[in-house]
């Protein structure tokens, strides 16, 4: 018989090192100095020029994610992963988009075990049996590319492997539901049906989003079904799909840092994210290596 995980909900805040500088030669998004993104409407359907730039920037995001993911191991701190991501982005001439976005202090989000999203890289060492989501967004050529994946630290428990496998399938199902002329609610329905068929929950508070010259446009992509998600998909729209799937409750509570969202019952949660373009007959995944 498998023993239950005795270490439920044990992630605690660590020390956060000072913000790392980005060389002045690298073009920055509007919020880099102030912390406040300029809102203003950005069209969700992109011009051929913006699309070409998005393809290159999204490819870089995928490349950085793969390289930082390869560094995940027991004993490595989330801050070391952040430093690696920061340096890879800068070496490629990109600005790490999370840095000072609404005041976020680091280059990537690192979300361990019960952390749903927006975990701040800190002095905590990864431990064998943890799962960790790395969320990489980079800004280059005036556009953002956003992708994330959940990695195992050492050999996973059967429960963790199941959750992570189903979460990846949820992203795949959401992507497969992309089709011009259909409402974006099709995406959430496909994801929710798959998650709930495995007894898992779907986080409501954090959703996919339009992306381009802005990190987050006003277009929202819920990962659960809601009749309010009426926006029709149109060719050349670009947005993210990034389901957060939970073993137990889908409700979150927030750490005092104002960023780290954890499951209210402290059970495990996983996430995968791609930036996609709506193509004539389905999604074009932009954040592939
Ligand atoms: N990359 C995250 C997303 O998928 C957003 C991170 S915002 C930050 O939308 F400020 F936390 F970096
Ligand atoms: Co995103
Ligand atoms: Co992201």
Work out the average pLDDT over 31-55.
96
Nearest residue (by CA) to ligand 1, atom 8, is: 98
Residue 182 pLDDT: 98
Decide: 104 in ligand 1 pocket, CB within 6 A.
yes
As a whole number of angstroms, the distance between CA 15 and CA 121 comes to: 9
The answer to whether domain 48-285 has CATH 2.70.98.40 is no
- The number of the ligand 1 atom at minimal distance from the alpha carbon of 206 is 9
Band of residue 6 on the pLDDT scale cut at 50, 70, 90 = low
Decide: 109 in ligand 1 pocket, CB within 6 A.
yes
Residue 5 pLDDT: 61
Decide: 124 in ligand 1 pocket, CB within 6 A.
no
pLDDT for 63-97, tens place per residue? 999 999 999 999 999 999 999 999 999 999 999 99
As a whole number of angstroms, the distance between CA 188 and CA 207 comes to: 10
Decide: 118 in ligand 1 pocket, CB within 6 A.
yes
Task: Provide the mean pLDDT of the chain.
Answer: 97
Residue 7, pLDDT > 90, answer no
Is residue 271 within a helix (H) or strand (E), and if so which, with residue range? strand 269-271
Q: Closest Cα partner for 115 from 225, 1, 266?
A: 266
Q: Closest Cα partner for 83 from 36, 22, 33?
A: 22
Work out the average pLDDT over 26-37.
98
As a whole number of angstroms, the distance between CA 43 and CA 37 comes to: 16
Residue 2 pLDDT: 60
Residue 141, pLDDT > 90, answer yes
Domain positions in the chain are 48-285
């Amino acid at each position: 018989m498998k023993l239950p995980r005795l270490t439920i909900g044990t992630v605690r805040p660590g020390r956060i090192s000072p913000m790392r500088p980005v060389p002045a030669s690298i073009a920055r998004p509007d919020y880099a100095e102030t912390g406040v993104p300029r809102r203003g409407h950005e069209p969700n359907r992109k011009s051929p020029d913006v699309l070409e730039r998005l393809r290159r920037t999204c490819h870089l995001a995928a490349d950085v994610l793969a390289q930082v993911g390869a560094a995940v191991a027991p004993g490595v701190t989330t801050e070391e992963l952040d430093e690696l991501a920061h340096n890879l982005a800068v070496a490629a001439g990109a600005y790490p988009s999370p840095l000072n976005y609404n005041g976020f202090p680091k280059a990537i989000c690192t979300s361990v075990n019960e952390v749903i999203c927006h975990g701040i890289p800190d002095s905590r060492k990864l431990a064998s049996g943890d799962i960790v989501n790395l969320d990489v967004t980079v800004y280059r050529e005036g556009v953002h590319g956003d992708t994330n994946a959940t990695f195992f630290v050492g050999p996973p428990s059967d429960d963790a492997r199941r959750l992570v496998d189903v979460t990846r399938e949820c992203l795949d199902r959401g992507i497969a539901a992309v089709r011009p002329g259909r409402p974006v609610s099709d995406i959430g329905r496909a994801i929710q049906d798959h998650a709930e068929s495995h007894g898992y929950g779907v986080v409501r508070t954090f959703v996919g989003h339009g992306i381009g010259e802005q990190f987050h446009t006003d277009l929202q992509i819920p990962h659960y079904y809601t009749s309010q998600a009426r926006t029709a998909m149109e060719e050349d729209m670009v947005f993210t799909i990034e389901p957060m799937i939970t073993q137990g409750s889908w409700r979150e509570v927030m750490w005092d840092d104002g960023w780290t969202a954890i499951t209210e019952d402290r059970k495990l949660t996983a996430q995968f994210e791609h930036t996609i373009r709506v193509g004539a007959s389905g999604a074009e995944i932009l954040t592939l290596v």
